[in-house]
Amino acid sequence: MAISFDKALGIHEQALQTRVKRAEVLANNLANADTPGFKARDVDFKAMMQRAQESTSGFAMNRTDDRHMDTSLSASDSSLMYRNPQQPSIDGNTVDAQAEQSRFMRNAMDFQASFQFLNSKFSGLTKALKGE
Amino acid sequence: MSLGSIFDIAGSGMTAQSLRLNTTASNIANAETASSSTETTYRARKPVFSAVHQAMLNPNGAGFGVLNPEQGAGVRVEGIVESQEDLQMRYEPNHPAANEDGYVFYPNVNVVDEMADMMSSSRSFQMNVDVMNAAKSMMQRILTLGQQ
């Protein structure tokens, strides 16, 4: 019996990956805090996780030819959404630096939590292999 | 994992902000540079920022760690423009740079504006540093995966 990491690690790997993606999007918002006309964006974490869960539990399709469409829904193909600004600015920039920064920090903390889960999955596997 | 791109994004933000800080410093330093003609007078310089899109960096839209071709990948400075506001003309006949009518031209630098700009850019720079630090600690955590 082969060990399937996907099954052993559960949803935490996708959660971690989604956290990284979100961090990237939020970092981009912060980098563009002074760019005129820039629209702040974010990903819908819940929708991404739902899709990741569906793709792990649902029917998986095989691609027998390179020209077949990729039906696997990974956490990577989700659409970015625009934020509704609290206070629109004259130059069209919708980045609220403080709010974005707090979201970034929150996301980093959630990342730590997801990491903790993933790490304990691994240590569980190691313990099982060692027979402790 | 695409944590590496956060470094690029925050780095581009830091580069842009430090350039903005540079132009601000140049403007403040030259705020009182008098000249005898409108052509040779220093004009306030402002950088123009624009968002970088992933699709530009990665034309085929595919590759490792690409979230979405339309996703942004930082900020860049398109160029530096000179302010077209009117120069200050002062009547100072005793000034060595005064023209025949006794007028001296001073730059169109608004020092109060520049100070506000300076604070804004240093704060934004700091924010990008914070982002980079957070990304660094996230990456360090990833590296400890599987360790007891």
C-alpha span between A3 and A9 (Å, rounded): 11
What Å distances lie between residue A11 and A7, A71, A117, B17, B46, CA to CA? 9, 19, 10, 39, 48
**Structural domain harbouring B141:** 5-147
- Note whether B20 contacts A: Cβ–Cβ < 8 A: yes
- pLDDT of B55 > 60? The answer is no
Contacting B residues, span 123-142, partner chain A, CB-CB under 8 Å: 123-124, 127-128, 130-131, 134-135, 137-138, 141-142
Structurally, chain B folds into a number of domains equal to 1
Asked if B131's CB is within 8 angstroms of A32's CB, the reply is no
* pLDDT tens per residue, range A35-91: 888 888 888 888 877 777 776 665 666 778 878 776 655 444 556 788 888 888 888
C-alpha span between B53 and B69 (Å, rounded): 8
- Note whether B17 contacts A: Cβ–Cβ < 8 A: yes
What global pTM score does this model have? 0.78
ipTM for the predicted complex comes to 0.79
* pLDDT tens per residue, range B9-46: 899 999 999 999 999 999 999 988 888 888 888 888 99
* pLDDT tens per residue, range B69-123: 566 788 888 889 988 888 888 898 888 888 888 888 888 888 999 999 999 999 9
